[in-house]
């Protein structure tokens, strides 16, 4: 990873520094959103797989007796 040297940063006008920082925040937010979406999809698939395994149990008469 490369770091911006302090002396290079200081030579930029304040507006340019703000633009760089805004770009950084935009990219950071985009990657966080992608990570969240991937996690959400994985959790949904895992939940669906667990639920699919319970369908026969849920449809049985024995299950109905428990809830009535």
What is 7-46 written as a DSSP string?
HHHHHS-HHHHHHHHHHHHHHHHHHHHHHHHHHHHHHHHH
* pLDDT tens, residue by residue, 16-39: 999 999 998 998 888 887 776 666
Mean pLDDT of 1-16: 91
Per-residue pLDDT, 61: 74
């Amino acid at each position: 990873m490369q770091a911006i040297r302090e002396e290079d940063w200081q030579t930029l006008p304040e507006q340019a520094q703000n633009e760089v920082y805004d770009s950084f925040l935009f990219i950071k937010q985009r990657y966080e959103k992608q990570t969240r979406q991937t996690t959400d999809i994985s959790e949904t698939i895992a939940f669906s797989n667990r639920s699919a395994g319970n369908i026969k149990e849920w449809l049985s008469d024995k299950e109905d007796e428990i809830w009535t």
